[in-house]
Chain A
Amino acid sequence: MLITLFGVAVIVFFVIRVVPGNPIAMMLPPGAGEEDIARLKALYGFDKSLPEQFVIWVAGVLQGDFGTSISTRQPVLSLVLGRLPATIELAVMALVIAIVIGSVLALTGTRHRGTRTEGAIDVTNGMALSVPDFLWGLLLILLFGVLWPVFHISGRVSPALDLPFATNFYLFESVLRLRFDIWLDLVSHMFMPALALAIPLAAIIAQLLKQSLKETMHLDYVTLARTHGYGENRVITREALPNAILPTLTLVGVQFTFLIGGTVIIERLFSYEGLGNMAIDAVINRDLPLIQGIVILFALMFTLVNLIVDLTYALLNPRLRHG
């Protein structure tokens, strides 16, 4: 895991140092002399050799110092941490939506297996899987932003609202402070981007869970539960489901990292003020320290999700628990 993170750091660091645009030149007013350029370069450490710059940067990162953003001249860490909650809330909301839709589809499909209902669910899944979040986002904008405007199509929160929050976890904090007016406004901004991110994942969950449910339904212990006279619904939810969740869980973890990666373009599409939107601006502004910081943070999120999945898997799987 650490090797992977280190690899990401190395690649990002050296790839963006090949950027042809000169960020220093863009910062200075016209007419700045050679001396000013050299001073500014020294300030950002661009005058040293690449390996030296890398060592300095890594040493800083290990101490929690990600450098200073070139375009905003603020510490990268505070910029990035300011945006991170928005992205986390969006991703988690998308995950919840995906799990709800996916499980409902899987359970319905299992309950009505072999019927037209299952066929319809399979076809819907196939469609949802083939089309990426970017296109779902655009379709949702057209449907619920223009044709039937029920949701906001850009931003995270209405600018007119006065936010009494201490952290940037607006959604979470609005519930704690019982400000349901703000909560509603946040949700009506977040719902469409979250749904766009959730649709492909929901399809995957539905497909995998349904498949493992159907396999579990043929096992002896499920038949035994039937002989106890339990109804079909109870057999599916109480007996088959706990055993069918495990294989789905591992794959959902991997897919959740794809979802986090998808926030970059979805945030852009919905002008949602999260990390991904900031990343695209950073690339356009050639803000090297900021790009590095954001990519590392994304890589860290990916690895953390994988770690959490592994731990949950160990927790839920009795064979590993007693091993």
Chain B
Amino acid sequence: MADARSAIKRPIGPRLWLSGGWLTLLVLGAVFAPLLAPKDPLMQDLFLGRMPPFWLPGAEPGYLLGTDSLGRDVLSRLLYGARVALFVGLIAGVLTCLLGTTLGLIAGYYRGWPDLLISRFIDIWMAFPPVLFSILLIAVMGTGLTSIIIAIVVIDWTRFARVIRAEAMTQGAMDYVASAQVTGHKRIGIMLLEILPNVLPTMVVLLTLEMGIAVIVEAILSFVNLSISTDDPTWGSMISEGRVSIHQAWWVLVFPLVCLFFTVLSFSQLGEGLKDYFDPVLR
């Protein structure tokens, strides 16, 4: 058994490197988008609509990855789109993590009625189709980055709450918690100082995964035109436009799709890599 397992786990190294590398590149691209982008991402030029990328015949110099149907530069929109994707991923991920972990800790450590209440909410939440739920919330709150972030937090907190609750229960039954209780520590102190540090690795892994999910949710919402205004460059709106003109201009769909694919894959591989790293049994 041991030999087979180590054979499978060997690719962890390059996995972490590759995903970390892509995300670093993306962060740099997003931060320095105004310097790197060759064109204004909103600038339209109807005479330059659907120009192919530079290696194809008929390409327009200066538009490296071609243009969309309104003549907007695909590369510049990609770079600015990375800003939206990473911003939503980071903020929504962290907020979801805070809410879900707090509720999970309370349910798992305090048990009793808070647990009953929180668990009941988790059950109800699990019966909602998440994509439909997020679209519904956006329709209620109106489009915009804040709405997207709120929708993600409202829907995805259960991902954290479920796992953290189970972990907190396991930890709460351990001797070190009992001895802390015997020595007269306050329960909230025990929860924050004893239990929380022990669920931290799980939390970090879930957070990494959640950031990838948030990026996807944002893309899905802008795909159905419910994200921020349709002019603003987001990968989802580029994909939506590329889906329509797929037979005339495949590059409008392919480049944002590739970026989204690698970003989501990187977040999840980073999460898996961290999980292996934190899990002493697997190490």
| Chain-B contact segment, one of A75-83, A160-168, A263-271 | A263-271
Per-residue CB proximity of B121-144 to A under 8 Å, as 1/0?
101101111111101110110100
**A311 contacts chain B at the CB level, 8 A cutoff:** no
- Best-buried of A279, A280, A302 by chain B (most CB within 10 Å): A280
The reply to whether A280 and B135 form a contact with Cβ atoms under 8 Å apart is: yes
Contact of B132 among A19, A114, A279 (CB under 8 A): A279
The reply to whether B243 and A141 form a contact with Cβ atoms under 8 Å apart is: yes
**B216 contacts chain A at the CB level, 8 A cutoff:** yes
Bound Cα distance from A54 to B239, whole angstroms: 39
**A55 contacts chain B at the CB level, 8 A cutoff:** no
The reply to whether A291 and B264 form a contact with Cβ atoms under 8 Å apart is: no
**B269 contacts chain A at the CB level, 8 A cutoff:** yes
- The total of chain B residues at the interface (CB under 8 A) is 46
Across the interface, which residues of B come within 8 angstroms of A284, CB to CB?
139, 224, 226
Per-residue CB proximity of B100-136 to A under 8 Å, as 1/0?
0000000000000000000011011011111111011
Interface of B is mostly: helix
Contact of A7 among B120, B130, B254 (CB under 8 A): B120
Bound Cα distance from A264 to B226, whole angstroms: 15
Across the interface, which residues of A come within 8 angstroms of B260, CB to CB?
135
Per-residue CB proximity of A268-299 to B under 8 Å, as 1/0?
11000000100110011010000100110011
Bound Cα distance from A132 to B213, whole angstroms: 9
**B261 contacts chain A at the CB level, 8 A cutoff:** yes
Across the interface, which residues of B come within 8 angstroms of A127, CB to CB?
265
- Nearest B residue to A113 via CB reads B4
| Chain-A contact segment, one of B57-65, B163-171, B245-253 | B245-253
Given contacts A5-B127, A142-B254, contact A135 B264 (CB under 8 A): yes
Across the interface, which residues of B come within 8 angstroms of A119, CB to CB?
7-8
- Nearest B residue to A302 via CB reads B127
Per-residue CB proximity of B255-276 to A under 8 Å, as 1/0?
0010011001100110010000
Bound Cα distance from A291 to B135, whole angstroms: 11
Bound Cα distance from A124 to B220, whole angstroms: 24
The reply to whether B128 and A8 form a contact with Cβ atoms under 8 Å apart is: yes
**A308 contacts chain B at the CB level, 8 A cutoff:** no
Bound Cα distance from A116 to B269, whole angstroms: 20
Across the interface, which residues of A come within 8 angstroms of B247, CB to CB?
146
What range describes how many residues of A lie at the interface? Answer: 35 or more
**B3 contacts chain A at the CB level, 8 A cutoff:** yes
The reply to whether A299 and B142 form a contact with Cβ atoms under 8 Å apart is: no
Interface of A is mostly: helix
A16 to chain B, nearest CB (A): 7
Contact of A8 among B11, B127, B224 (CB under 8 A): B127
- Nearest B residue to A291 via CB reads B136
Given contacts A123-B11, A134-B220, A286-B139, contact A146 B132 (CB under 8 A): no
> What's the count of A-B pairs with C-beta under 8 Å?
136
**A233 contacts chain B at the CB level, 8 A cutoff:** no
Bound Cα distance from A153 to B133, whole angstroms: 26
**B191 contacts chain A at the CB level, 8 A cutoff:** no
**A247 contacts chain B at the CB level, 8 A cutoff:** no
The reply to whether B139 and A118 form a contact with Cβ atoms under 8 Å apart is: no
- Nearest B residue to A114 via CB reads B4
**A303 contacts chain B at the CB level, 8 A cutoff:** yes
- Nearest A residue to B142 via CB reads A20
**B206 contacts chain A at the CB level, 8 A cutoff:** no
The reply to whether B257 and A139 form a contact with Cβ atoms under 8 Å apart is: yes
The reply to whether A3 and B120 form a contact with Cβ atoms under 8 Å apart is: yes
The reply to whether A295 and B243 form a contact with Cβ atoms under 8 Å apart is: no
Given contacts A135-B261, A299-B127, contact A118 B137 (CB under 8 A): no
- Nearest A residue to B136 via CB reads A283
Task: Tell me the A57-104 residues at the B interface (CB within 8 Å).
Answer: none
**B78 contacts chain A at the CB level, 8 A cutoff:** no
A92 to chain B, nearest CB (A): 17
Per-residue CB proximity of A145-187 to B under 8 Å, as 1/0?
1100000010000000000000000000000000000000000
Given contacts A119-B7, A146-B247, A146-B250, contact A265 B120 (CB under 8 A): no
The reply to whether B128 and A265 form a contact with Cβ atoms under 8 Å apart is: no
**B219 contacts chain A at the CB level, 8 A cutoff:** yes
Contact of A131 among B220, B254, B261 (CB under 8 A): B261
Bound Cα distance from A129 to B135, whole angstroms: 24
The reply to whether B123 and A4 form a contact with Cβ atoms under 8 Å apart is: yes
Task: Tell me the A287-323 residues at the B interface (CB within 8 Å).
Answer: 291, 294-295, 298-299, 302-303
- Nearest A residue to B4 via CB reads A114
Given contacts A4-B123, A135-B260, A138-B239, contact A298 B246 (CB under 8 A): no
Bound Cα distance from A126 to B269, whole angstroms: 8
The reply to whether A268 and B224 form a contact with Cβ atoms under 8 Å apart is: yes
Across the interface, which residues of B come within 8 angstroms of A138, CB to CB?
239, 243, 253, 257
Assuming A113-B4, A298-B129, what are 16 further A-B pairs, CB within 8 angstroms?
A4-B127, A8-B124, A16-B140, A20-B140, A131-B261, A131-B268, A135-B257, A135-B260, A265-B220, A268-B224, A279-B132, A283-B132, A284-B226, A286-B139, A295-B129, A295-B132
Q: List 29 A-B contacts (CB under 8 A).
A: A4-B124, A7-B121, A8-B127, A11-B124, A16-B139, A18-B140, A20-B140, A123-B11, A126-B269, A127-B265, A132-B216, A132-B264, A135-B260, A139-B257, A141-B246, A142-B257, A146-B246, A264-B131, A265-B220, A269-B223, A280-B135, A280-B224, A284-B224, A286-B139, A295-B129, A299-B128, A302-B126, A302-B127, A303-B127
Q: Lowest 7 CB-CB distances: which A-B pairs, in order?
A: A261-B129, A130-B268, A7-B124, A114-B4, A299-B127, A264-B131, A283-B139
